Amino acid sequence: MEVGQKVRIRRLRDRVSDAVVKRLGQVGTIQSYKMTDGSGVGVLIQFDDKFSTWFFEDEVEPAS
């Protein structure tokens, strides 16, 4: 996955706020990467309404 790529939120690993749960199935754009726990990488996703948050890489998939 690359910065600028469109991705779909396919699952959520952890408990999250309702604002993030509403993003399940939505498409957003990768803005940057984030180190998670020292062994993983997350991606910062921005949605069309300018809301942004990060997800683990296995929570997103390329949007077609």
Distance, in Å, from the CA atom of 28 to the CA atom of 3, rounded to the nearest integer, reads 11
pLDDT above 80 (res 39): no
3 state SS of 59: helix
Give residue 29's pLDDT: 98
pLDDT above 80: residue 63: yes
pTM over 0.75: yes
Q: Which helix (H) or strand (E) holds 21?
A: helix 18-21
39: left (phi over 0), alpha (psi -120 to 50) or beta: alpha
What is the mean predicted confidence (pLDDT) over 50-59? 94
The residue written with tokens 């991705």 in the block is 7
Three-state secondary-structure class, residue 4: coil
pLDDT per residue as tens digits for the range 9-38: 999 988 899 999 999 999 999 999 988 777
Predicted pLDDT of residue 61 = 97
* Residue-range domain boundaries for the chain: 6-62
